[in-house]
Every structure is written in structure tokens, then in C-alpha cells.
Structure 1
Amino acid sequence: MPDSGDVESVKASSLGDSQVRVYAVQPRENADPDEIVDGFLEAMTSDDLGFATARKYLTKQAARDWKPEASITVLATAPDREQAVAVDDPESRGRSFPIKGRTVAKVNEYHAYEPARAEFQDEIHVVQQPSEDGKGKEWRIDHLPSGLVLSEADFQRNYRSVNKYYFASGEDWVVADPVYIRQRQDPITRMDPVTQTVKALLEGPTLWLQEAAVSRFPSGTELKKGVTSLAPDDQSTLKVPLNAKADRVGPEVCRRMAAQLLFTLGDLTSVRVEQVELQRSDGTSLCVLGKRQARDEFAPVRASERAENPFFVDEHGKLMTLLVGGRTAEEPQPAPGPFGKGLLPLRSVAVDRDESRAAGVAKEGRELRVTSILSDEELAPAVVTSTAARPEDRLSAPSWDGRGDLWVADRNPVRPRLWMVPDGDGQRVEVSTPWLADGIRVESLRVSADGVRIALLLKRQDGRTTLNIGRVMREGSGAQQTVSVEDLKAVAPSMETVTAVSWAGPSRLVVVGKEAGGVQQVRYIQTDGATSASSLLPGLNGVTAVAAPDDDRSPLVADSGNDGIVRLVPGANWQRLGKVLGSSPVYPG
């Protein structure tokens, strides 16, 4: 430590530590305007109940009007006031301090995270008001940005992502809806993380998901008044007291309500909940449901005792399966059925969630065919064909959703279209895609297991390939149904181009891409666009395709060009699998 020299102010590091806690300090007597502004910005990052200390930097009216729970603006670094110059304001004898930064995201009052790449500019205005003892005047803030303004490091230290779960519209399985809650006690509601999570679930789906997912909790259902702490008992049972809105629900509806809670609480590693008991407003039991029952009945992908194994297309166009769960990968084996025998050389492939059928695009990209991978059978006629002149303008790699429906894009520039094949062998349905115009091209697609969301790599006219998530809307059934993909949202706006994407669980993607001027990177990204420093995976060059399992028991698999098929086991670096050459690595889905 230096024992002499001047004191210099420095910017806080952008690296957050979830174990660090910031305690707000109230304003010093006779503090100058600079101290008031800096003290308030620091106090916003604390866990102070009600943000009581932060409010002491405000005038009485501003303290009453400020609603920190209304929104959060997340900046790349702490709000920049260093270069600001206090501007005299003769009208109110106050001073204005411009606040600047680079916006990373916004979090709304419903806890939904939305990436945003824009310059942030606002101001904090201070005025003099009588001091509490009435003997003098103190500088206080009378105008400030709405909600909270936090650096990305402070946001990640104070908040964490959890998945709320709702039922896919018209279906009996759940879909994830990520939101952010406080890491510790919420300063406004005084609720612990478990109670915050339950409260967020009861508020219903976020705006983007509302039209495609429903809650089984009756409208107006809330926690019983005064509940701020929930904890499982010594039997790992969580008892959740509800208000009178839920008093008269039937047993089947109650089971689904309990299932939503069990899936949602499964994301909280700090608490172990094996079963949930819902209680009426008078404390009597509505129903009890266990975690295993919820998974067996309502998960979009049924739990299996065995780890998933990936498939890929070898250099001869045959469908191969690869056992990669152990320390050393075994030699790939041809998949049973026509594709494994090479009766139709393949360009790309997808395997359904039951691992009973495969959909393959022929080598020239013109035909999409479906066949068994359990036994030999004759190849059926193509379910989708493309008439594009060039192979690269024909069919994309296909994808299966959890309903058993098959998806593929025809990239014919004359008439680009998105197709859905009900049950993989029904009459194809053209998907409504009003956004598929103005030179936009679907490079690849991946549908979520729940069938509600679709990840799309879209090539723009400027040559950039961006990652977007669309909401899948359906009406009717079979060939008579209407299907559309709506309300696309950018998931990785900081990436200049995205090369490959794969679902990696209910609300997470593995993405291969690069930022402007950067090198190719592989990382996890939440479906709401949120990332963290820990989501970056070991680097790998030349990746053209990536595949992730539904859980963490199997490794990531990628096509790395000259190195062939490689895998990434947690805690290790990418490993080359001997002489395994091929392309289009996929897990079921």
C-alpha cells in the first residue's frame, strides 16, 4: 500500500461479485452537490430496506414520487458523472448534473429483461432546502432518472434470473418465462427470494409470452396478505398460503398450479423443494404435488434415466449416432434405418424428441424426408420440396418441436417460406411470416421443446446474420390449422453476426458468433438476451454448427470444420473425437 501521494478517484470495476454487499451511507451534514449526487448513485446499489437511505438524498416530494421498483436501466458501467459540469440554474438556484452511459438492458415492472443497445443520457437536479433542524439549508435532489440506474456489475450482484413456468396454450405441458428477482431480500416488498419468485409467478406471464401461455392460477390469486417469507419444512415440503381467489379450485386445476410452482422453484439452487402444498385462505390444504409427479406429467421433454446422445451426418451423407457420455467417446455407429444405410445421402438432419424418427434434407437440399431410426423401412415421399435454382437457396436444416411437428425453411429467393409438417408426416402447413420480406433470409431455425418459441438466424440485406426469438401461434388442428411466427425480438444485439444456435434447456441457448471487431466465441445466452461473464465457453475456431443437450448430463457437440466433430465436457476444453468427420451435429429436437 502506498503511504504517500495524492488521492485519486477511479471507476469501479465492471466485474461483479454476488457475495459483496453495499451498505448505503446517509448524506453528510453540509454536503456539497457533488457529494449528494455521488452518494445517491451509490445508495441505489444497496439492499437498504425501502431504499430509505437513498431517499434521504432527495427532497421530500421527490422521495414520495420516486418508484425504484418501476424499472431498472442497466448500464455497461456505473453512471458516468466524472466529465459532467454542474450548470447553474438561476430559476431555482439549483444545479443540473448530466448522467451518461451505455445502456445494456431495461428491466420493467414485471421483472422482464430486454436487451437495449443505446446511449443513456439523463440528469440529476439538486436544489437547496431547509435542513431538518431548520437552522440552515441542505442540498437535495428534486429531479432524477425514473426507476433504478445500475451498472451491469451491480445488477448481476443484486439480481438473479429465474424461470417462471406457465402452460403452453391448448397443451398440458409447461413453458419457461425468465424474469429477474433480487438475490436477497427485496427492499420494497421485504420478501425473501423464494417468496419473490412465487409472487412473480402469480402475477402471470410476461407481456411477450401472454398470448401463447396461460396460468392455471385463477385471476387475482395472490399470496395470503402479510406473507414475506416461505421456506420448506424438514420434509422438503413448501406450504404456500393463497388468498380467497383460489379457495374453490378443483383438484386437477390445483395439481397444475402446484406443478407451475415446482418447476419455477426448481431454478432456485438455494432451496430444495421436493413437494408443494397449496393452502386455502383459511389454512386448509388444497392439494399436494411432488416434483417427480410434476416432471412425469407436465414437462415438455419427459425425464429419462439415460443421458442423451447426439447424431451427425458423416462425410458420406450417412446418419451416425455418437456415444459421448464417458471420458472417451466411442466410435460412431450408423443409425438404424434408411438414413444410416446411406440410401439417401444427407445434407442436414434432425431427430425427433422420442428418438424414433429422423428428418433429413437430401444432399442437394431439394427434398425433406422422414423415416424411422428404429428399424428398416422404405423411404417415404418427400414432405417438403424446394424449387430454388441453387442448392444454398433451398431447404434449411429441419427441427422438431415437442408436439412431434417438423419445421423447415425454404430459402428460395423467389418465394421464401417457412413450413410446418404436423406430426412429421401430415399435410404441410405454410407458416405466416409477415417479417420474412425485404431480402431477409432464414439461415437456420430451432424450435423449442414446448413448441411455443422458435430461434431464427436471419440474414439481413447488409450481410449480418442476427439471432431472433419468435412466438409461435396456432389455431385449429392438422392440415386445417393456421400457424404464425410473431413478435420477433433480437436476443444477441451485441453480436455483429451469429453463425449457429442450439437450445440448451427450457430458456437458454448456445450461440456461436462474434462481436464487431472480435473473434468467434461460443456462449450461453438466455432467451431474454441476458448474459454473464460465466456464460462464455472455451474458444473454438471455425464452428459452423453446434448442438446442446436438454440437460447438463451430456456434452456440447460442434462441427469445427477441419477438426471435425468435437465435444465440450463441463470443466474441460474442447476435445477432438479422433477421426470423426462429418457435419450437422444434433441432439433430439
Structure 2
Amino acid sequence: MVLSGCVGLPTDTDPQSLRSFEASSQAEEDLGPEEGQQPDLLLRDFYRASASPTANHSQARAYLTPPAAERWDSGTSTLIVDRLDITTQAGATSQERTFDIRGNVIGTLRDGGSYIPENGAYEATVEMELVDGEWRVSSLPSGVVMERTDLRNNYEPHNLYFFDTTERVLVGDRRWIFAGEKRLDTVLISMLMQGPSERVAPAVSTVPPSQAEFIGASEGVYRFSGLEEADAQSRGQFAAQLTWTLAMANVPTPYTYEAGGMPLIESRPQVVPDDFAELNPRVGMTAATPLYALTDGRIYEISSNQATPVDGPLGTAGNLESADLTAEGTAAAVREDGETSTLVITAGEGSVEEVLTANTISRPSFEFDPNAAWVVLNGEDVVRVVRSESTDEVAQLPVDTSSLEDLEGEVSMLRLSRSGSYAAMLIDGRVYVGVVSRPSAGSRAIVNVQEIAAELSGTALAVDWQPDGSLLVGTSALETPVWRVEQDGSSVSALSSANITAPVVSVSASPNTMYATDARAALQLPTGGSENVIWREVPGLQGVRSVAIVAN
């Protein structure tokens, strides 16, 4: 019979295997197939075993006939499906069987462990035969296919850290690494030396010189070459990247780096994360964040369970539609002016300055730099509003959104990540994430846009970043109004629906609390709570329908 396998995927992706960063010498117990196992159950176990990449998928090859094990090219692609449906074709005999395999492709794992969300169909044909009284797979498509649960059970997500293009903040590049790796530290460093993933590359700069190489680790020392000509600043930045990549993966401190037999940083033979505290990616996950609220068109500060109007026009306006605030107290707000909307920003001493007017203006979103905020005008044009530190003048700069031209619908919401390197957008009720590139000093562009959380089926009404880098999404879905979505789209999970009523029109999150405005009130839920936790009204906002705003 002719082997067939087809996958309905976008043509601009190029799935690759993960073998380039595997430790091929890593030993792993070879479980193998059970004796006398029925063919359909053995086939399911084969797919589970395929999740282990060690020794060229040797565990999975034990389920194949010797010729099939030799022919199977497991390196062509790694597809992630929601689940696999296995059905026996007609014509089965006591010696041979053919199975139809179907599933929905939700993602691919590319070279280096990057997860790319997809939305397509998987169909394949697998043949099995009886060999010495045991069923074995005799013919199958190339590549690895695993269910989402097997990805979660066998791989762990970790961030590599690269500097953004301004070299002021570290940007996480999420990778999936096989959980059986015995030397996670050297795997992470090797991947870091290979540079950022193709998707994230436009948003970051690579600090180590191109000729730098990771020699290896021994006796607790990580050794590098090719850094002889690097200046002290470059060496320090490289050490910061290494340190936070290892620290966020819970690799024990302190760290010793050597380049050419000398300490990477001359004055610090050993380093710890506190040596680079100003670059701490955990700041957003641990720092106290001021809480504000938009109620009756005014901005209130929430403190000690009390709501107090902020000083100045924003606390008395009465016609504000949306707002964003920074931890430093800078505010940008959209004011309703009859049939149009006006963007205003704080201008010092409690005053505000009118910046621009349009038919509709989305909720503002600040960059890492509190002097720059983004808005969407009339659902189409993304504008970056920047206040000059030297002249105090405000400039309006268009953001290149040509990557969105093929997407149908208006951009109803845009939220920048804490680093300002990722942009989450709602377009026609769907969730998209792109990266922010910097073609020149004053210009920005949203590139490499991908839809994540296709499961929400166009019901999304609100989106915002959580401090851990995931997304919080409010929807119009009656049974599941609020969702958590991982930044790379690898996981989409419904949060507690107890005591919350769709539609959820606003969401935000602090390190300890998630906030949502449903059909009745502003509610809060502790992060990490169980499924039975109840959403409760935000103290200080009881009895009024408000929008909670977490300052970043």
C-alpha cells in the first residue's frame, strides 16, 4: 500500500527537528513495547515514546520493524496535535493492519525548541504487521507527531535572554527543552550562543561577538573563547545574559565564567544575579505594582482598600474611556469628546496635554520607556506617541503594520509586553502576538505576527500581559469567560468561571492577583488559585462597575 501523510499547514513555516541541541550521549531507560500488546494500543504507545528525542528517538524505534526503524526519518518535523484519533481501516488480517491517524495540528517545535502555533489538520496512514508474534509498525510518515499532553509531560519551557535593540532590557526567548537533559545549564548556554530564534530576532540585539564560542563546562567553570577583542561593556552584557538565563532556569549560583583562561569580568571571578539586578526579568513578577481604576470616567488610585481620585484633570474628568499608567505615575488616557475621542497624556504638575483626536482610539499601552505609548486609531493605524526628554515636546510616529494587511478585521486592542518587545493584539475577536522591531532609531514595526489561542474562536474582548509573560484574555464565552494563554501559544487554559459573568471587557494582572471586569463589576482572583476559587469584587470598588488598571 502507498504510505500517505498530509498536513494542512501554512506554507511559510519550515518545521525542523530538535536534534541539533540534544545530548546524544545521554542514557535513558529503554522501556520498549509490552509483550503481546494489541496493535492499536502499541501504536498509541509508539506516539508517546516519540516524545523522547534521545539517541535519535531510539525508544520509539523499538516499536518499528527493523526495516521501518532504519527508514524512519524522525528529523523532518515535530508536530504537536491536540489529540490523535486512531481508526482501523477495512481489510485487516491476522498478520497485517492499516490505521488512519487524524488530529488537529496546534503547533510545531522548530530547531532550537521554539514553539510555533499552527492551526491545521493532520491525516496519515500507518501500517503494522505481526513479527515473531508481536505487532510492530512497518510503514509510517517521516517526522515526529506528539499530543499536547506528551509535550507538557516530556519537555519544559525555559527562556533565553537577549538584550532588546536599545540594550536596556532583557527579552525572553521561550524554548522547549527535553526534561531528561542531565546538563540543562550547558544546553541553555549552547542555545544562547546560537542566537535568538528566527521569530524573536528582529526585536533583540546579539551582544556576544560572532566569533565567540562556548568551549564547555568543567569543575563548575563555564569556558568561552573568541572574546579576546571584546570590550568590558560587551563582556558585562554577555555575563548578564548568561546569568539571568541560568538563574531563571534555577541553575544553582554562583556562576564562574572564563574567557581565554581569565574571568569574563575581570573584577568578578564569580557572579550572582544580584550583580545585574537592574536587568532582573523577575521584577515584573515580584515588585509591588500600584493599582488604579477607571470609574465613572475618572481615574482613582486604590490603596488600603480605598478608592481616591488621582490629582489633576484625570481624577475629575468624568468622560475618560480608557487609560494606562506606569509605576512612575505617567498616565495616558482616552477622553470622549462627543463623536470623537482624544488622547491626553500627563504633562507634569497634574496637568494633561491633548495629543491627537480620532473617531476611535484604543486603550494606550506604554513601552518599557515611560515616555512612549502606543494607540490604535480607528481600528487601523498604530501610532507611537513619544515625549522628548530634552525638549518635552510630543511627537506622533506611525508604526509599520504592513504585516497585518492580510488579516481581516479591525485592531480593537493592542498591549505591549513589559519589555516593549512583544505586542498582543485583538483583531476581529482573535488573539495575535507579534514582535516589535526597530528598523531605525525613531521607527518601529510589528513583525512576525502569529495567531495564538485559535480555540477562542473570535470571542476575545480584552487582553493583557501577566507578569510571568503569559496573556490574560477576557471573552464573551458564557461558560469560560477568562483564559490564560502562554506567550508562544503552547497552552490555552480556562480560568475559574465561578462568580464571573460574560462578557469580560477588561483584564489586567499584578504579580499576585488577576483582575477582570465582567458584566457587573470589577473582580479579582489570586494567581495560582484552584479551579474552585471564587472571583470577588475588588476592595474599594464594591458596588460600582469599574476597570482595574495595574501600573507597569
Q: If the length of structure 2 is used for normalisation, what is the TM-score?
A: 0.80
Q: Is the 8 A contact 1:295 1:303 kept in 2?
A: no
Deviations 1:398-446 (A, max 9, x none): 111102311111116xxx3111112385210122222257762111111
2:450 to 456, 473, 489: 489
CA contact under 8 A between 2:171 and 2:421: conserved in structure 1? yes
CA deviations 1:225-273 (Å, max 9, x no partner) are 5x6xx8xx9xxxx64233x3445533322221221122223332xx354
Instruction: Report the alpha carbon displacement of residue 43 of structure 1 after superposing the two structures with TM.
Output: 3.1
The 1:493–1:438 alpha-carbon spacing in structure 2 relative to 1, beyond 3 Å, is: closer
**Other structure's SS at 2:88 match:** coil
Q: Is the 8 A contact 2:239 2:264 kept in 1?
A: no
Equivalent residue, structure 2, for 1:107:
109
Amino acid at match of 2:495: L
Letter in 2 for 1:357: T
**Structure 1: distance between partners of 2:281 and 2:386:** 17
Matched, 1:286 2:250: no
Query: Is 2:410 aligned against 1:428?
Result: no
**Count of aligned residue pairs for this structure pair:** 503
The answer to whether 1:370 aligns with 2:342 is: no
| Counterparts of residues 526-565 of structure 1 (less than 5 Å) | 526-531=486-491, 536-539=495-498, 540-542=500-502, 543-549=504-510, 552=511, 554-562=512-520, 564-565=521-522
| Closer, same or farther: CA 240–366 of 1 in aligned 2, 3 Å | same
1:264 aligned onto 2:245:
yes
Q: How do 1:263-412 and structure 2 match up within 5 A?
A: 263-268=244-249, 271-280=250-259, 284-287=262-265, 288-296=270-278, 298-299=279-280, 307-315=288-296, 317-323=297-303, 330-340=305-315, 342-343=316-317, 345-352=319-326, 354-364=327-337, 366-371=341-346, 375-377=349-351, 379-380=352-353, 382-386=354-358, 388=359, 394-404=360-370, 405-411=372-378
What's the offset of the Cα at 1:195?
3.1
Residue among 448, 451, 454 paired with 2:423: 454
In 1, the alpha carbon distance for the partners of 2:515 and 2:440 equals 37
SS of 1:530's partner is coil
Distance 1:137 1:509, change over 3 A: closer
Contact 1:310/1:322, CA 8 A, preserved across alignment: yes
Q: Secondary structure at the match of 2:106?
A: strand
Relative to structure 1, is the Cα distance of residues 61 and 151 closer, same or farther in structure 2, using a 3 angstrom cutoff?
Answer: same
Q: Deviations over 1:506-560 (max 9, x none)?
A: 6311112266xx6233222111112165x734542132101112xx2x4222222
Separation of aligned partners in 2, 1:141 and 1:366: 64
1:41 corresponds in structure 2 to 47
**SS of corresponding position for 1:444:** strand
Query: Which stretches in structure 2 are left out of the alignment for 5+ residues?
Result: 1-27
What secondary structure does 1:383 align onto? Answer: strand
Give the counterpart letter for 2:469 in structure 1: S
- The 3 A distance-change label for structure 1 pair 443 and 158 is same
Any gaps of 5 or more consecutive residues in structure 1? 1-21, 186-190, 324-328, 389-393, 460-464
Percent of residue pairs bearing the same amino acid type: 22
Which structure has the highest strand share of the two? Answer: 2
1:144 corresponds in structure 2 to 140
In the TM superposition, what is the alpha-carbon distance from 1:197 to its structure 2 partner? 2.7
Give the letter aligned to residue 257 of structure 2.
L
Is residue 313–residue 582 contact of structure 1 (8 Å, CA) maintained in 2?
Answer: no
8 Å contact from structure 1 (residues 103, 116) kept in 2: yes
Any idea what SS the aligned residue of 1:181 has? strand
Cα gap change, 1:220 to 1:35, in 2 (>3 Å) = farther
Matched to 2:242, the amino acid is L
Aligned residues of 1:301 and 1:449 also touching (Cα < 8 A): no
Q: Which secondary structure does the structure 2 equivalent of 1:53 belong to? A: helix
Matches within 5 A, 1:42-61: 42-45=48-51, 50-58=56-64
Q: 1:423 to 1:300 in 2, by over 3 A?
A: farther
Provide the residue aligned with 1:188 in structure 2. none
